[in-house]
Amino acid sequence: MAKTKTAPADTVVAYLRVSTDEQAESGAGLMAQRTTIEAEADRRGWIIVAWKEDKGASGKSLGGRPALAEALELVESHQATTLVVAKLDRLSRSLVDFAGVMDRARAKRWNLIALDLGIDLTTPAGEFLASVMASAAQWERRIIGQRTREGLAAKKAAGVRLGRPVALPDEVRSRIRDEASNGASLAAIARGLNAGAVPTAQGGKKWYPSTVKAVLSSQDV
């Protein structure tokens, strides 16, 4: 059975990111991150095997960042033992995304270090802090899910039919067009539709003058 390749001890991949084209062009943000990592590498005796830079890349998600993908490939293929960033938000501004990277590090046995917060999965303090942040990420996911469910419930209670919008029947379109042609106001047309419990194109229960106007303005009418 082939042995899994093991990276030499104290080898790191340094990842840098700036979020705007201006920062990327000026180099100030990248230089500050590089200086911080180099100082820590000198202090701790790290061997930096690669510098990976994403210039002008958003930190809202992990996607669309080729340099980060390359950095992760290096540690996961055991060409280095550690991925290091000067600040956690250089890796991600999302707790959920950070928790995902941390899970990958644990599963594939490489280390993750964020110098600004003291996150280091090889130390008790760093492991504790990372666990706290993972719990916060789980809370964030649950809150987002709860808000989504509450929003859908509110729409349902308001009579909005969820899912794919429902097309307005031709007879309703014709009724609106004919009443408008005969001089009925938008408000009067809306009152008549509401009195007849005619659903809107989106499945709602309430017609408004603006809803009637939208139908009249539609190219399909």
> Which sequence positions are flagged as catalytic?
19
Q: Residue 37 in contact with residue 71, Cβ under 8 Å? A: no
Cα distance between residue 188 and residue 212, in whole Å: 10
Kind of pairing, strands 119-120 and 82-85?
unpaired
Nearest residue to 76 (alpha-carbon basis) of 50, 98, 107, 113 = 107
Cα distance between residue 178 and residue 172, in whole Å: 10
Cα distance between residue 70 and residue 68, in whole Å: 5
Which DSSP string do the residues of 146-179 spell out, in sequence order? HHHHHHHHHHHHTTPPPSSPPPPPHHHHHHHHHH
Cα distance between residue 33 and residue 1, in whole Å: 42
CB atoms under 10 Å from CB of 193, counted, come to 22
DSSP state letter for 5: P
Nearest residue to 15 (alpha-carbon basis) of 115, 108, 129 = 115
For tokens 């809306």, the residue is 190
Task: State which H helix or E strand residue 37 sits in.
Answer: helix 28-44
